[in-house]
Every structure is written in C-alpha cells, then in structure tokens.
Structure 1
C-alpha cells in the first residue's frame, strides 16, 4: 500500500474561538467546522440543520405535476403499472418504497428489477416487450431511465405510458416520456440537485400524498438506506433525510429491515451511517451482485415475519458467497500482479480473467485501487469470448475520458471519472491494455498517484476528553461531503504494540505530554508497521468513546501513522555515516560499530526479506524496513546497518536493490547452494574500522 500524503487544514485560531463562543460548540467541533469553511454561526446552523422544515416542495421538480397526474389517472382506471428499478441498494429501496406506497393507494402495481448477470444495467427492449405483453400500461422508472431514449421509445410505440424518476446526469435530448423527473435536468430549478434515486422516488410519493412529513415518517429508513449506500452528499435535504432515517431505523416498522438488522447483529445497537455503509448495504448489494436482487426487494415488501427472517438469512448467505467470490478473484489478481506489476513504472492496472464473477469484479477493482493507489480495470471473459469489465480510479485520473480514448475497441461502455463499465471482445483486450497504459503515461504522474489523507486539524492532548469527543456528534450523520473528522497529533511515543486477530489489526499505546492513549489500527498487522516500540510518530485518527464492561474511555481509530521529524533526523544522522562509508571517507571506531552488523543481524534481515518477498520482490517505504526487521527480530537494526546488510547480499549476488518515489525495492536473484559472504568488501572495511 502506497504511503499517503497528508493534507492538514489550518483553521484560523481566532475564528475558531469566536465560533465556539457564539455557538456554544466545543473548540474541537468549532475547529472542524472552520477547517471546512464553515466559520460563522449562521453558516454552521445552516450546515448542521436536520430540521424537517428544510425539505423542499416536491412540485419544485420539473415535470412532477405531470408525473402525479399520470399516476393518479392510471390508478383511477385500474390499469396495471410496473416500477422498473435497479439492482443496487439505491434502486432496490427506491423500487420498494414506491411500490409499497402505490399498493397502499389501491394501485395494481408490480415491479421489475433487471438481473445484473443476464440483463445488465438499465432498460432493455426485451423487457419493454415482455412487460407490455403482461398487461403493463404505465411504466415508472426509478434510479434509471434518463438515458434510455430508444427503450422508452419502444415502450411508447407498444402503448405504454412512461414516467421517469432518476438522479443521473442527463443527455441533451431527454427521453420522450409523459414525465421526466430528474434533479439533474438542466432546466430544473429545484434547489437541491444531489438526491439519490430513492430520494427522487420519495419526492414523487410526497407529491402524490400531498404530505411530505407523514411520508418521511413512514419511509425515512428506506430512503436513508439508499441515500447513504449510493454515496450521496450528506448535506442539505440528504442530511435531513438520513438523520430522520437513522432515528427511524432503530424502531423500523418495516419487517424485512428489522429482520436484516437482527440477522446482521445490529438490533438494539447504536446505528450510524457507517452501519448502513459497512453492514446493511453490502448484504443488500450482494443479492444484486449475485443476480438475486429480487430477494432484497421481497424482503422490504413482505409483511410476513417468518418469510422476512428467511430472506434476511438468505441475504447474509449471499453476502458470504459474494465475499468468497471476491476473495478468490482478489487472490488471483494479486498473484498475477506480483509477477506483472511494476510499482515504479505502471500507472494503471488492466487485467482479464476467464470466469470471473461479473457481479463482484467492481469490488475487487476498488480494493486493488486502494492497495496500489492507481486506476484499475478488471475484465471477466466468458466462454463466448466476450469481456465485461469494471474500472475504478483515483481523483487525479479521469477513467471515463481514458476509456473514451479507446472507444473504438468497445461494444459499449459508460460511467464517470471514478468508475466505469465496459464490454469488449477478448481479442481486443491486449490492445486495450496497451492503449490505456500509453494514455496513463501522458495524463498522470507518479506523484499524482500518491493517495491523500485530508486532516481537519492538529489537536492537543488536553482537548481529547470524553466531553469534547461526545460533542462531535452534532456533526453527524457522516458521509460524502461531510466525512467523519480526522485529527492529528505529532510526536507521540509508541509505548506498546499489540497484534490482534492473528495480526490482522494492531492496538497501540501512545504517549503524548505524559498522557496515554489507546489506539486501534484496522487492516494492518504489526509486521507491516513502519515503526517499533520506543519510536516517535505522528498519528492521524478518528475519535470515539470506547465502552467495555461498563468502562468508557477515549479511543483513537488510526487512519495513518508516520514517523516524526525527529526519527527522520535520527535516520539521516546514521545515513550520513553510511554515505561517508560508501564514499570511502573516514569513520571512528564507534561510528563503524553503529553500522556493523553481526551474523544474527544479517540472518534477521535475510529472513525478513525472503519471507516477505512476493515472487522475488519486496517494496516498502524507505524508512520502514529497518524498523520492521527490528520489531520481528528484537534486534537493534538501524537504517544504516540495514543498508550494509543489503550491500553484503548484493555483493554476494543474492539481491539487487534501489530507491524510487520514497520506496525501497528489493529483487531476489536466483541462487543455488550456500551463499558465501566472507568476501564482502563493505563488511571487511567496516570490521577494520571498528577495530
């Protein structure tokens, strides 16, 4: 995983003080608001408001009046209508919310959700023909339809009326439907353009009912679920909807949602937007990814508790199957990347594999994108030689534009700057890989691929009290454009490192100004740290109150840790000695002994490198390896001594190594028999200097 570049905001101290005094917020909360450009009492009140009075009139959306008129007429005539949804959480919750409401009004309403694996995304001509033949006379799209001009033309020709509700970007020419309700319409004057698909569907319900508040009370849980899962900005109307939805979620009247909470172990626990993102959404999305979105739809629509419990259990089982498929593909891609990926040169990853599950390659893309810090495209090739791919990118690289540069190779493609999908014939994949690599060479630098960590502010140890941390709750709910605050403290001493869960996570004891802080770092083991006990580090973290056996305490949830300047200075002093050695300069006996490894030191370094190397390669941040070896071996191995060990191995033909972009890169060389290091010049030179 690439090292992160910290971007630390510096809120104006005086403005923070004034904001805290005039609003009553603690300095910690005021500092976060100020760091985000919210530095007046009125701006803070507007930004943080969750008042339901802030919801806008649904008839402010263009064509909403037409949509309401069409739907009411079809209900009155007793004709069949179908809600056409999508297979992700936003699409499923939008479908179920609208279907449930329409049925409660006596409508003959069914739903249709395309199968991700066989139908693909959006409206299709076969689906239009099938629905008409089944008696559908009104088609209402949710979370889809805004670019389906041809398919909607087919529906109209067959004799169906069409109402579109969507939230995606519009083309210049809108589909020829009875009503097109989309907050992204260029001619729309609605004051909030970031509703989710379920949010737009909810607005249709509010308009039909003529009572927004009663509909919010009834459906806020499902609307919030889809809004957070679709990574919508949690500001404006979305903030109000999600805040109300989280309150509603804990006492939900939706039997299916309650059973899913129980099955996921979240019933009677504090629910946050993170609960949706990391617990509920993956289970619902899993159904769609595995081609069984109808299970999730039925879960939210059923009134039978027994059936709901069975469906919730099935969704959790589908999620396990999804995880298994995901891990299988991830392991295959990692194995290939150890051989094929060059972290010093490659700016994009393009891989294809036969039989990869189309529903999960997008998740694997995201994981590889995070791991390698570069754009990733994965393509699943079926037995007919057709490749269906997904791509994920980083902020500095527009993936959609990159694919557009290769559009002549695709049967179809679409997406946006950070995520995209494509269909390509297998015999064109190699050319696609070559052209995307050339495009990346001229459109992004290695420096731009370094991931950034945005930190709201530096904090002092005395600020980290339970009262101050609890006061941060006024900032919730968190999400896109209102991220959970990240804080930073510098020059903390690492007192203790405790591996957890078979070294998948670590607990740290950190000391600052005589105060001890407990910290937990998920997803990294002690062997992957770039520091050891006794080192001085800078830590970036979220803040929370940990409750264990009735005891409450401050806990830091680590986002990243870097060596403090004093550690870099200490390394540099040793490196100066090492550089003097390499330039045949003089060293005192004491200085030589600081660099001179003994046999156990050499064994420790060699064992670490060979055990940690993957397919003969090891790349680590340039200041981390000496500390990692020191941690594992419990030996005093400084950075200069490490380089001497590497030089000895390089002289003996065992390895080669070099530096680039802050990374130390080691390549193991083929070697038979027992290595002889007795002829090492650097070792002999140091031994003579050390006396």
Structure 2
C-alpha cells in the first residue's frame, strides 16, 4: 500500500473549539449558508433546463390517463430515482404505469427493445440513463410516444438521444450554475415541479419523508459532491431517515446491524444502506430493491430487507476473491505503469466497480479498470475509477476506436470492449496517462489542521457534527498531532490486521489495517510519533475516540 503525501491545509494551531470550526469552514470555502441551508434554499436549483417543460408534458399524459413506463438504471441512484417516481404516482392514485429495470447483463442504459415491449405506452420516463441511448429513444419517438430523460451523465458533442425533454444539468444549453446533482436528486426536484403541474382530480402529495430519504441515499451512494443543493438534500434526507418513518429504509438499516445507532450519518448510508440496495442489481435482480422501497407490507419489507442483506454478503465474498487475485497479479508486475487494466472471465460483473475503487485507493493506479469477460460473446465489460486530475471520460474519448460503447463522467465510467481489442485498448489507455503530469500520480492526502489531543472532547464532536454530512467536496475533518506517544492495547480482526491504541495515555484510537506496519517495525511504541486522525464519539463507552489514519514520521515541517 502506497503511503500518501500528507498536506496540512491550515498552519494556524487553534486554542479552542470555535477556532477549529472557523478553520474547517475556511478550508471548505464555506459560508454560513453551508451550515444553515434548508429545503427552501433549493428553489434556485429548479432552473435546471427542461424541468418545467418535462413536468408539464408528464402532467398532460397523466390528465389523459395514458400508459406510462418508468425506466431506472440498476444501481442505487437509478433505483432510488425510480422508487420516488413510482411512489409519487401511487400517492396521487395513478395506476396506469409499468416499471422497467434492465438487467446488468443487458448493460447500462435504456433496454433496446423497450418500445416493442410496450407498444401501448404513450410516455416513457428514463432515470439515471438515457442521455446516450439514441437507438431506444429513437424507437420510442418513432412509435409516437414521448420520452423524458432525467440523467446526470456527461453529455457528448454528438450522439445525444432525441428525448422529448432532456433534464440533465450538464447539457450545454442548461443555465443552472450547479451541475453535480445525481439522478435521485434531480428526480425529487422534478417531482416538485410535477406536483405544481397536476390538475384535478389528482391530489398534491407531500414530498418530505420517504422522498427526501430516497434522494439522500441516492446522492450519497452515487458519490456526487455533497455541497450546495446536494448538501441540502443529504442533510434533510438524513433527518427523514433518522425519524424512522419510512419502514423500508429502517428495515435495511436494522438488518445491517444499525438498529442500536441513535442516528445514521452519510457514512452509514455509504457503507451500509447504499451497498445493500446496490447488491440486488449486482448479484441478482435490481427489482428486489425496488420492490422493497415501494412496498407497504411489513412482512414483505422484512423478507426483502433480509434478502438484500444476504445478497450483500455474497457481494462481499465475490469482491474479496477478485481483490486477492488482482493483488497476486500486481505483485508479479515489475514494469512501472500509471494505469491498471485487468480482466478475467471468473470475475463477477456486478462487483468490478467496487473492486476498481478499492484497488485504486490501495495502490493509487490512476485510473483503474477492471473487466469481467464474457467468453461466449468474446467481449469484456469494464468499470473504471479515476483519481483527481485525470478525467476518465476524456481519456476514454481518446480510446474510442477500441471500444464498442462507453459512458460515464470524470471520476467513473463503464465500457465494453471486444477481447480482440483489449490489448490495444490497454496500451492506448496507458499512453494517454503518460501524457499527463507525473505529479497527479503521486498520492496526496489532506489534513485540515494540527490539533492538540486535549481539545478532542464532546464539545469538539458537537461542533464537527454541524459540518455533516461528509463526502466529496466536504471531507470528514482530518487532524494531525505531533510527538504523540502511543501503546498497542490489542491486535484484532478476522485477519488480525487492526490495532487498538492508547494515545498519550489519555485517549483511545483504532488504526484500521495498521497491524502490518507495526509488525514490520515501521514505528515503535516508545518513540514520539506523528499522527493523522479523525475524531468520533463512541456511544458505547460514551467518550471520544480517534480513527487513526497514519502513524510515523512523515508530517512536513
């Protein structure tokens, strides 16, 4: 594992908690609205191009009683978008609709045969897909039906699907200043406009509660920046989740072992709830997750939540197998590379995206692409994850001649390549990376400020809570301390790879995956050491603890 270069953003050392909060806000270029934004502050974000026009079009189809087909991608963002739309139609008493979710084996996007499968439908609404699906959207339009696309993927210079209305803030004609909503967030904003477009006899449902919870889960799970409108959606949605009024999410949390938690954070959504919703599409059928999210029957909700938990365990096992295989292959590579492209027929296609993320983080290849090979068809479907400074979408554009199809955004993408072209693609991809500055391939990690350990208290944790939820654009506050004396209290974990530490003889900490460094003698207990950490409140012991990120002699002067 490559040790990052730690960079301290703020050199001023605070003497009290208020100064800590001021520095953290300054580091994030945040104003008071960052802390106090409410749902009313979402109004300016409703200027996304197509929002009003799409709502009016769907309103006309609802008034006419036309059959509607709802299409959602098979990941968490797509499923939470689809669930919101279906719940809205249920809440207004509209039943003339069907739901279509592509199988992962069909590939990303609107299913190609969707128009033939629903010849009597007059409106198709695609969420988290559709921007690039020119053929199926053309087929829909050619049979006289309308198609509304609610999507957030990159918009190409050519090949744009001919949707009746495209709601995507990344299209050049969109004047919205904020471009980073995921589809789940856009769907909730769209529903606020659709509610206004409804006419008699439809009632106007409240869009709090379950809608906010779903928008928050999709936003956190899709790893869009948690700033501006996304931050408001995530904060409000987490409040709805913690109110425990939406039984499907409550049961997913309970089966994930979170029943005893007083409140759930964005971290819980990202590590426990989102992966379980994703597990349905990765390991079986995304319809399982959708059915759970729209169900009103407690028995069915519990059964489906348990099924998601089981599928998530399968996902974790499949992921571990691939990770071990890739680590073994990497250990045999002696030629320095800036990218990693690996493929195997035995790798489960549903987990390659997660594996790519973990490998990229562990070894800092920039970027990483993991392929699952379909030997029968002679193709490989891959998932890519990148690093700051390397635009994966632009890189794939430079490799377009070797790809059957591809799509995504700056930090993540998916693609399909024939096995005959795999080696040429990998060489070209590496060549594109070699054209970049070498500096971006040096792993860097950010420390907000130096902090005396005696400032870690309940007061500090309460102040840090004001900055939640954390994610891209608003990272968890990270601190550094110098000349810390520590002792190892315990080595633990299934593989005995984690450490329980006592720091300065006053506060406990956990150094996840730190046992190997300690065993190799990279640092000694009896020597004052540098420490990088995050602070957390432990409900069990009712005191603060440290989540240790690094130990050693590495902080810059």
Same fold (TM over 0.5): yes
Matched residue, 1:148: 133
**CA distance in 1: counterparts of 2:521 and 2:276, whole angstroms:** 32
Give the Å deviation of 1:71.
Answer: 1.6
1:395 pairs with one of 379, 385, 388: 388
Q: Over residues 400-438 of structure 1, what are the superposed CA-to-partner deviations in whole Å (9 max), with x where a residue is unaligned?
A: 444333332222223333322222222332333333344
Matched residue, 2:342: 351
Q: Over residues 22-80 of structure 1, what are the superposed CA-to-partner deviations in whole Å (9 max), with x where a residue is unaligned?
A: xxx72221121123334xxxx2x122123222121675333333222222222222221
**CA distance in 1: counterparts of 2:276 and 2:386, whole angstroms:** 24
Q: Over residues 1-20 of structure 1, what are the superposed CA-to-partner deviations in whole Å (9 max), with x where a residue is unaligned?
A: 0011011012667xx89xx9
Matched residue, 1:138: 123
Matched residue, 1:272: 265
Counterpart mapping for 1:534-613 below 5 A: 534-548=526-540, 551-563=541-553
Matched residue, 1:368: 359
Matched residue, 1:2: 2
Counterpart contact for 2:6–2:554, Cα < 8 Å: no
Counterpart contact for 1:58–1:204, Cα < 8 Å: no
Counterpart contact for 1:88–1:288, Cα < 8 Å: yes
Matched residue, 2:327: 334
Matched residue, 1:197: 183
Give the Å deviation of 1:529.
Answer: 6.2
**CA distance in 2: counterparts of 1:509 and 1:404, whole angstroms:** 50
Query: Does the C-alpha gap of structure 1 residues 359 and 11 become closer, same or farther in structure 2, counting only changes over 3 Å?
Result: same
2:98 pairs with one of 110, 115, 125: 110
Kindly indicate whether residue 22 of structure 2 is the aligned counterpart of residue 26 of structure 1: no
Query: Does the C-alpha gap of structure 1 residues 508 and 529 become closer, same or farther in structure 2, counting only changes over 3 Å?
Result: farther
Counterpart contact for 1:11–1:31, Cα < 8 Å: no
Question: Which 10-residue stretch deviates more, 184-193 or 354-363?
Answer: 184-193
Query: Does the C-alpha gap of structure 1 residues 253 and 494 become closer, same or farther in structure 2, counting only changes over 3 Å?
Result: closer
Kindly indicate whether residue 442 of structure 2 is the aligned counterpart of residue 454 of structure 1: no
Matched residue, 1:178: 164
User: 2:349 is paired with a residue of what secondary structure?
Assistant: coil
Query: Does the C-alpha gap of structure 1 residues 278 and 63 become closer, same or farther in structure 2, counting only changes over 3 Å?
Result: same
Query: Does the C-alpha gap of structure 1 residues 63 and 92 become closer, same or farther in structure 2, counting only changes over 3 Å?
Result: same
Give the Å deviation of 1:255.
Answer: 2.8
Counterpart contact for 1:58–1:207, Cα < 8 Å: no
Structure 1 runs not aligned, ≥5 long: 569-691
C-alpha RMSD of matched pairs (Å): 2.5
Matched residue, 2:242: 250
Matched residue, 1:167: 152
Matched residue, 1:206: 192
Kindly indicate whether residue 73 of structure 2 is the aligned counterpart of residue 86 of structure 1: yes
Matched residue, 1:238: 230
Query: Does the C-alpha gap of structure 1 residues 435 and 54 become closer, same or farther in structure 2, counting only changes over 3 Å?
Result: closer
**CA distance in 2: counterparts of 1:442 and 1:176, whole angstroms:** 35
Counterpart contact for 2:478–2:532, Cα < 8 Å: yes
1:47 pairs with one of 34, 41, 46: 34
2:304 pairs with one of 301, 304, 311: 311
**CA distance in 2: counterparts of 1:48 and 1:99, whole angstroms:** 32
**CA distance in 1: counterparts of 2:46 and 2:374, whole angstroms:** 47
**CA distance in 2: counterparts of 1:308 and 1:37, whole angstroms:** 42
**CA distance in 2: counterparts of 1:433 and 1:144, whole angstroms:** 27
**CA distance in 1: counterparts of 2:383 and 2:10, whole angstroms:** 38
Give the Å deviation of 1:116.
Answer: 1.0
Counterpart mapping for 1:66-85 below 5 A: 66-85=53-72
**CA distance in 2: counterparts of 1:213 and 1:539, whole angstroms:** 51
Counterpart contact for 2:152–2:182, Cα < 8 Å: yes
Counterpart contact for 2:209–2:246, Cα < 8 Å: no
1:413 pairs with one of 406, 416, 438: 406
Matched residue, 2:486: 494
User: 1:55 is paired with a residue of what secondary structure?
Assistant: helix
Counterpart contact for 2:73–2:108, Cα < 8 Å: yes
Larger radius of gyration: 1
User: 2:276 is paired with a residue of what secondary structure?
Assistant: helix
Counterpart contact for 1:399–1:416, Cα < 8 Å: yes
Query: Does the C-alpha gap of structure 1 residues 401 and 529 become closer, same or farther in structure 2, counting only changes over 3 Å?
Result: farther
Question: Which 10-residue stretch deviates more, 495-504 or 231-240?
Answer: 495-504
User: 1:545 is paired with a residue of what secondary structure?
Assistant: strand
User: 1:289 is paired with a residue of what secondary structure?
Assistant: helix
**CA distance in 2: counterparts of 1:565 and 1:381, whole angstroms:** 43
Kindly indicate whether residue 43 of structure 2 is the aligned counterpart of residue 56 of structure 1: yes
Give the Å deviation of 1:348.
Answer: 2.0
Query: Does the C-alpha gap of structure 1 residues 116 and 458 become closer, same or farther in structure 2, counting only changes over 3 Å?
Result: same
Matched residue, 2:200: none
